[in-house]
Amino acid sequence: MSFTPTLCRPGCAACCVVVSISETIPGLGGPKPAGVRCPHLTPENLCELFGLPERPKVCSSYGATRELCGERNEEAWQRHTEWERLTTPD
């Protein structure tokens, strides 16, 4: 499956909550489980580590795609939920 890059919508945050992150998240002491809100999300759903060296590499390299992010935040949450389900080993 190929993905088409698109612009991230600040404040969406689906990828910072819905999906699991295997890299250690500062302040969390380990990986982030799926469905857990990253502790570095601000009340406005922005990343407080954006641009800082502490930001996990997987986050810096993750890009918004039309297929996973859709056109609206609701679509992003639904599609990331489905993506997480499909890529989680039994």
Tell me the closest approach of the beta carbon of residue 38 to ligand SF4, in angstroms. 3
How far apart are alpha carbons 58 and 90 in whole angstroms?
23
64-83: which residues touch ligand SF4 (CB under 6 A)? 64, 69, 76, 80
How far apart are alpha carbons 75 and 12 in whole angstroms?
10
**What contacts 5, CB < 8 A, 6 or more positions away?**
63, 64, 65, 66
Q: Does 56 bind ligand SF4 (CB under 6 A)?
A: yes
Q: Which is nearer to ligand SF4, 37 or 88 (CB)?
A: 37
For CA atoms 36, 75, 42, 30, the dihedral sign is: positive
Return the residue of 2, 49, 52, 61 that touches ligand SF4, per CB under 6 A: 49
**DSSP single-letter state for residue 71:** S
Q: What does the binding site for ligand SF4 look like in residue numbers (CB under 6 A)?
A: 8-9, 12-16, 21, 38, 40-41, 47, 49, 55-56, 59, 64, 69, 76, 80
